[in-house]
Structure 1
């Protein structure tokens, strides 16, 4: 069995990952089984740099008769050769600050790391290095050849959800500057009155106690209708809006619209008292992620990075205070829409000793990979599944809640696996 498994491994390189796929996907998703480990983010950075630089080299080799044609395609938002965007599990609105910095140098690196990330990701040395490298890569390059950054999570944390204020007012502001005032369903002042104090929306008590949520209040219901009207107006005025301003402004307005509606739906679900409350909240969050990823896919090929459970094709599950909740992940939703243009490569680990995760049992998938001599490798999951046949390895149990082992039952729905033997502190 060990010999068969060894034949399924390759060096950890972008070319090896792409070599596992039947087609080059629009979205190449790399999952991780735990958060907060810079070793995993360093690997992500390395793969993204290789994807970008290999794509740049290929385009340089193809300069000549198709150079102008490719430039026109990119300027029109069409197909891009190579990967030019990285999207991570972070606030999609805060991510706009990071993208502005890496593309045009707006702000400072310190400011971007402090204000451009959610979930505490700004404190990561690996994330800082990613942003620094992207800014250096873009320096002196035309906009069509620059690398881009995106957060694809909603403005959500496990303990609370943001106010829809920023997204709603930004969407209203974009529309009021471009369309006849008579077409607007309300004024910005009316939105502000209905929104009230942001503390009403961000109260962390609402996560555990639905009665503390404002999501089903009269004001919230009115805001949800108005947000829908504003998004509808954006859609119906698309020709005029695209003629009056760059497409990027329209794309951003659509992001504001998706986010406003997503947050209002999420707050409404926070006020739900049914047993399905947490399953609905998890599903709504991943639906917001999926919508953002589909919008990025329309712009061009992108690498995506998040927890495995947000990117896998199988149904996701998690044990919470009221029991196990299940939902379809962003990856499952996107894969259903994009087919082979979505690829998912999971990451599995041997040890995280500083978190109490010691060497895996030898009969688990991680244990079998841990016995190989490589410190890290890319695994061909199709060949691995064939090698196992009906004798699937035992699932691994994690002694630490912050680490989710790879489920061997998911091999068939995974395009590849990156394995790291040990994660140092």
Structure 2
């Protein structure tokens, strides 16, 4: 007999939002490990984001999904409440209540960065007695931007971020009061949460990265997607970065660009055919997007090599960009808690990788264990000059690898990171807390 889990994930396909990845990767395997999922999500047309219709085809047809409405953004933004959490809350509460009242669930799993929905966890536990697990893909309550000072601008701006943090200070303690277990993508989150809430024990936490999207790369050749960022047949060397930008990545980016400038001064001919593409760096909608990469390139004198495409792009087009590239750049944050889940698609693309990450990032271990590429690490207090020197040598290696055979990846070491293996670990956690 299979147990039943209600998965609360407001961002869900076919909208291309990063925080559905945990759920989407797990759905094909949950039943194999004894769990019948039921997803509670917001109607796709009510979610702001880039729609990728191909994502829908990756969801098993037999998975029940209950879609709820959300208030129209054109009305709520007048009040400064365009966040999906606020817009869907009037519908999430009654629909969630109805599901939990009428269905027999053994567990509730909140897997989302729409943190307001996690505010319902304690309410539902007290009302229905169903255990719940929270999945932290980003910090909910965080003082990172206060520590960084006035130059670091948080996503959405200081006003919206400040209001979100005000709500987090109220809602997170309530959610953590009754939580049974916490999964997270970073080893730093358990430490922070245990310090903040001393009643929580280490056995209530599991560091669980997202599963690698192997099935997506098997599907990709059948879709015949033509990416619009660059022509892979123009004879140039194209290095790509696909993912968000931001002030917290300035240290790594400045070091990269200055190392390139040093290398170019020594080998000017090499760089005449190189182009660096930074894609999907802004979360803002079309017309309101800002560039955070190109200004750093200008300051470092490499603006002729760098092109930034700030708008988000459909998921499978992003995968095609990785496949069409000659090399992949992975840029880390100054925040040691930052763990880039995009490492797995980059490995599966089988292209040379150069990563720049804080030494505490889980990404460092993945790259080194799988031998998928080169990585340069830094500490928060490191001087930029040390990082530039380390990068200069690695850039030469990336040049050589960009024109040779695919990297010799250790696929045995990669196996633990597959979606199936990660889902098995997730279900082992579920089994500890199920009602039946």
Query: What's the TM-score bracket when you normalise by the shorter of the two chains?
Result: under 0.3
- By percentage of residues, which structure has more helix? 1
TM-score normalized with structure 1 length: 0.28
TM-score w.r.t. the length of structure 2 is 0.27
Q: Greater relative contact order (Cα 8 A, min sep 6): structure 1 or 2?
A: 1
